[in-house]
Amino acid sequence: MSDFLKTIVDAKKIEVANLYKNIGLETFQNKYPLAKKPSNKNSFYKALKKTGLSLIAEVKKASPSKGVIRKDFEPVQLAKDFEDMGAAAISVLTEKDFFLGSSEYLKNIKEQVRIPVLRKDFIIDPIQVYEAKDIGADAVLLIKAILDNQTCQMLLSLTNSLGLDVLLEIHNEEELEQIKKLENVSIVGINNRNLTTFEVDINTAPQLKAKGLRYFNSDVCFVAESGYQNQGELNGLCEEEFDGILIGEGLALNKGLFN
């Protein structure tokens, strides 16, 4: 794990401890009992599993590398604009210390859009999955780089039992090898950003997807993440038969990128 990720995870552990102290896991468990056959009427997976390249448009105020991306940040209006322009789903940053996100952003957006909403955060503990359910998320992001396989499998199974989808994010071939051993993987996100150097190489996604096809059947969705700035790059993803693309900063800089 890079020093940057460790810093975020350490801060997240404090946040998790406060959730246990102020709300408690049992409170969430009583409110949301696990189902043997859970259903998600507003399925994030189904939104991606359509013909063509589906856009996951990200509501993102800031990043550690770029600082504030949108000075005129209005999360609900932004999400509605993305829905109107044809986004298949909305991704909402809820990490508050490094990305200036908020769970309130997701709650408010969920009340105003009809398409599925992904909680994008650094999830390391079951109580965060329950919290995601509680604030209205249809799916959560799990980042393999911060999770060992045992923890990742536990969070995958819990999330599915709560009727939520999982976007399981990898960054390199080592993580790809690790996730092939997991069950219940339905959406694989391939992030082009190197989490150690922060450099972006948009060749990463197609290369890892080609290797991933050896391990996963055709039901698994593949999503490309980070670094896309023009239509030609999106056309390349269509040729590579990606199911979806997650764009944050690219849309902040060019709202017409996906038109």
Is 58 among the catalytic positions? yes
Is 225 among the catalytic positions? yes
Active-site entry in 15, 95, 131, 169: 169
Active-site entry in 12, 15, 54, 60: 60
Is 169 among the catalytic positions? yes
Is 235 among the catalytic positions? no
User: How many Cα atoms occupy the beta-carbon half-sphere of 12 within 13 Å?
Assistant: 19
Is 63 among the catalytic positions? no
CA angle 138, 222, 125 (to 5 degrees): 45
Are 249 and 63 in contact, with CB atoms under 8 Å apart?
Answer: yes
CA distance 213 to 236: 18
Is 186 among the catalytic positions? no
CA-to-CA dists, residue 139 to 150, 214, 242, angstroms: 20, 25, 19
Active-site entry in 15, 58, 175, 249: 58
Burial class (CB in 10 A: 0-12, 13-18, 19+), 107: middle
CA-to-CA dists, residue 183 to 99, 153, 156, 191, angstroms: 30, 7, 8, 21
Pairing of the two strands 62-63 and 67-68? antiparallel
Active-site entry in 120, 133, 144, 209: 120
Active-site entry in 42, 103, 160, 191: 191
Q: What tokens does 56 get?
A: 């996951």
Q: CA Rg, the chain, in Å? A: 17
CA angle 105, 19, 139 (to 5 degrees): 45
State the catalytic residues.
58, 60, 120, 169, 191, 225-226
